[in-house]
A = this chain, B = another copy of it.
């Protein structure tokens, strides 16, 4: 058994009993009006929770978040574009790699680890003929949430096509797709949606849909034309992860019935704030100067971050999230997403306090 640990990672995260029970049911045949109806409801609730503009559509992709990031890059841009990429860590770097793979001319704004994008950094690129901007609004690898208002204003001023990867920010931080003028937003099943991994989700406004329809992404599996046309009847071009789409449905309906997206964001914020208040007693520094509610990135002052991850797992049955990319010893992350409670925070804080007593922090 490898699932008996308390999970504070940033995905996969813990699912509520209703979602898990669906995992125990047979997966139904899906080329049916019943499944189409469920998919239509998924689309309607996703649009509502993202506060998407009139006419926006949703594509449900069977794949990781990267599949949807790549679909956005390949379907919405061409070698005639010139895009600006905010790179504050692993996921910003991935957008850069995707632009390279698809021959999209690009310029990268490289940020320091843990630092948000400043007005000064961004406005260096004002009026320089860019056509688009790609941003992971929450750089999951370091827990930095960028200022969407700053980015939105800049994109409006420069008429940039705006792609917002909010994979780990959706349902955690306030987001208004229509308000900020994002043309594309992306999320995934295994973050705050708190379902098993396997589905990522792309919302396209009407301009993005036009780009998709006139573009050739060079890849059938990630061709959003097929996703959009099949989606009209609540279907997908290829067999999707039907079980996970049913779980997403249960979760979206649950959020709707519990007061909607704003209540859910408050719930996650309360968990994050509780943890951050209590961790201050222990020898850690916050890594990020602009935190998302989704995750707290911590730098231990005295010991290796990776050793803390290992001891929590092996001796306290708690998973927190290690960092990669050469930061494993400097940083680990505590997620506040998924089926977690204040009592779970207490268990983690107590474990860390115990490690401190044992001179392990």
Q: Which A residues are within 8 Å of any B CB, using their own CB?
A: 2-3, 5, 7, 9, 11-12, 14-15, 20-32, 34-35, 38, 62-67, 70, 74, 97-98, 101-102, 188, 190, 196-198, 218-222, 237-244, 313, 319, 321-322
Contact = CB atoms under 8 A, between A and B. Distances in A.
Contacts of A3: 25-28
Nearest to A4: B26
Nearest to A94: B220
Given A23-B23, A322-B31, A66 B241 contact: no
Contacts of A238: 63-67
Nearest to A195: B27
B23 A243 contact: yes
Number of copies: 2
B25 A64 contact: no
Given A63-B63, A67-B221, A28 B2 contact: yes
A18 B190 CA distance: 23
B29 A64 contact: no
A167 to B, nearest CB: 10
Contact of A319 (B20, B22, B29): B29
A31 B237 CA distance: 31
Contacts of A321: 29
B198 A243 contact: yes
A9 B32 CA distance: 12
A242 B12 contact: yes
Contact of A12 (B30, B64, B322): B30
Nearest to A14: B26
A218 B104 CA distance: 12
Contacts of A190: 27, 239
A24 B21 contact: yes
A26 B7 contact: yes
A13 B74 CA distance: 33
B241 A101 contact: no
Given A12-B27, A70-B221, A196-B241, 12 more contacts: A3-B25, A9-B29, A27-B197, A62-B197, A63-B238, A64-B239, A64-B240, A74-B219, A188-B239, A198-B198, A218-B219, A219-B219
Nearest to A197: B239
Contacts of A242: 12, 196-197
Nearest to A27: B12
B27 A196 contact: yes
A241 B61 CA distance: 12
Contact of A218 (B11, B20, B101, B313): B101
B220 A98 contact: yes
Contacts of A38: 2
A86 B242 CA distance: 29
Contacts of A12: 27-30, 239, 242-243
